[in-house]
Amino acid sequence: MEVIIGCVANLALAGAILFYRRLAKLKWLQLDPCSYFLFIALLPTIVGINVFLYTNIEIPWGLQDLLNPEIILPVYVGYYVSWCLTFIFFGIAQSVIRIKDRRISHNIFLNDPSRKWFSRIVLISLSLILLTDLYLIGDLPGFYIFNGDVLGAELAKGRFIEERFRSSIPILGYLMQYFPLFALAWMFDEYYSSGKRLKLLITVLLLLIYTVMTLIKSFLLMPVIVAMAVFISYSEHRINLKFVGYSICLVLAVVIIPFYLLFNEQEVNLLAKVGSRIFLVQIQGAFLIRSIFEGWDLTALLNGAPLLKRLGFVTMDPAAQVFVEAWGEQGSNGFVNMNSHYIGQGFVMFGNAVPVVGPLIILMNFAAIVLASRSLQIGNSSHISSIIALTSLSLIPFNNNFGNALYFKPLLAFLIMSIFVFILYRFSRFIAR
C-alpha cells in the first residue's frame, strides 16, 4: 500500500511541477527565482519523508520513543498535498510573483554615479554589523572549540540563540539575519556582472570568520543560496551546470567543516552525519510534532506574532516543545528547536487545514515581497530593490519557524532592509558628488 501511495504522490507532484513550469514558460535547464526557492525547500525534505515512509530508520537523541508510527502515512500525504498545491498556486499567480529580468535594471544602474561607493559602504556596514553582534554575544562558541570543549561550544551556541529569540534588539535582529545575505548577494552580483572579485572574497572571509566563531552554518550556507538566486535572476535563467557543481561543492564544504570541528573522524562518519543533517533532520520534526499534538493550539498559532512576548503573552513553538516533551524543561539546553516542514508545525496552528492554508500563506509572502520591490525602487532603477527582495524571499520559512511566514516577517524584513539600504545609497551618492 505504501508503495502505491508513494508512486501516486510523486507522480502528482511531478505533474504539479510541470504545470508550474508551463505557466512560467520555462525551458529545459531553466529556473526562475521563485521555482528555485521552492526546490531549495523541497529537495531536502522530500528525500527524508520518503526514507521515513519506506524504512524503519530511527530518530536519534532518544526521540524515537515519542514517534507514533500511525501518523507517518497521514503526514506523508499531507506533505505531498501541500507541495502539489504550492506549485499549482504559484503557477496561477505567475504575473504577481515573477521577478523581472535583472539584466535591464543592471544596464541602467551602470550609469549611476554612486555605484562604486555604494559597494564600499555595503562592505563597511557588513563589517560593523558582524563585529557588533560578536561583541554582543560575548560568550562565543568558537572559543570553546579552540579549547577542545565540544559540549561547551554546543551549550554556548544554544544559550545565545535562545537569548536572541527572547530579547533580541528588534532592528539589529533583522539586520543581522538579512544584511549579510544582501551584502554577499550584492558583491556576487558585482562579480558576476563586472568580474570584480576582491569585495566578494572579503565578504566571504568575514562570513567565514563569523561562522567559525558562532558555529551558525547558515551564515555561509544561505549566502550561497542567495548568490545562486542572483545568477538565475538574469536573462534566460539557464542553469550553468559547471556553476551548479561549484556551488554544491561549496555548500558541502560549509556543512562538513563545522561537523569536522565538532567531531573527529574516528568518532563519526562525516558523510553519514552530513547526509542525515541535510535530508532527514529537516522533516523528522514534523513526525514528532504530529505524534505529540492532536490538533491546533492557540498559543502555537500566536507564536511569532509581533510584540506579543514583549507584552507578556505566553506562546508556544511546537518545534521547540518536542525537546521539552522528551527531556523536561531543562532537557532542551543547547538545542533551540526540532526542524519541521510546516506540515508539522503548521498542524498545531491550523489543524488539518494546513496542507491548503500553508501554500496560500507562502504564496502571499512571495507576492507581497515581489510587489513591494516593484514599488520601492532605490535609486534610478529596481536593481538594488530586487536583490533585497531575493534576500527576503530566501528566508521565507518552509521548514522551520512557520510563524514568521504567518505574520509576514520576511516582508517586514524587506521594508526594514529597504530603509537601511536606502540610507546607505543616499550616503554613497553624497560622497560621490
Q: Which residues pair with 378 in a beta bridge?
A: 381
Is residue 216 scored above 70 in pLDDT?
yes
Residue 329 DSSP class: T
pLDDT digits (tens, 9 = 90+) for 143-183: 666 666 666 666 676 666 666 655 455 566 777 778 989 99
Give the cell for residue 217.
Answer: 552554518
Tell which residue, 185, 169, 184, 106, has the closest CA to residue 135.
169
Q: Among the ranges 79-88, 103-112, 313-322, which has the highest mean pLDDT value?
A: 79-88
Name which residue leads in pLDDT, 362 or 433: 362
Is residue 266 scored above 50 in pLDDT?
no
Among 219-223, 229-233, 351-355, where is mean pLDDT lowest? 219-223
Averaged pLDDT, 91-102: 88
Is residue 269 scored above 70 in pLDDT?
no
pLDDT of residue 423: 92
Averaged pLDDT, 342-367: 93
pLDDT of residue 177: 78
Is residue 325 scored above 80 in pLDDT?
no
pLDDT digits (tens, 9 = 90+) for 390-431: 999 988 988 878 888 999 999 998 999 999 999 999 999 888
DSSP string, 245-261: HHHHHHHHHHHHHHHHH
pLDDT of residue 411: 93
> Rounded to whole angstroms, how far apart are CA atoms 200 and 193?
12
418 CB-contact burial (10 Å; exposed 0-12 / middle 13-18 / buried 19+): buried
pLDDT of residue 19: 95
Question: Could you tell me the pTM of the whole model?
Answer: 0.86
pLDDT bucket at 364, cuts 50 / 70 / 90: very high
The answer to whether 109 and 380 have CB atoms below 8 angstroms apart is yes
The answer to whether 19 and 90 have CB atoms below 8 angstroms apart is no
pLDDT of residue 195: 75
Averaged pLDDT, 296-301: 82
Cα Rg, the chain, nearest whole Å: 22
pLDDT of residue 84: 97
> Rounded to whole angstroms, how far apart are CA atoms 136 and 114?
32
> Rounded to whole angstroms, how far apart are CA atoms 141 and 153?
4
Averaged pLDDT, 233-243: 65
Mean pLDDT over all residues of the chain?
A: 81
Residue with cell 560578536: 134
Q: Among residues of the chain, what percentage have pLDDT more than 70?
A: 78
Name which residue leads in pLDDT, 178 or 357: 357
Averaged pLDDT, 193-215: 82
pLDDT bucket at 334, cuts 50 / 70 / 90: very low
pLDDT of residue 106: 80
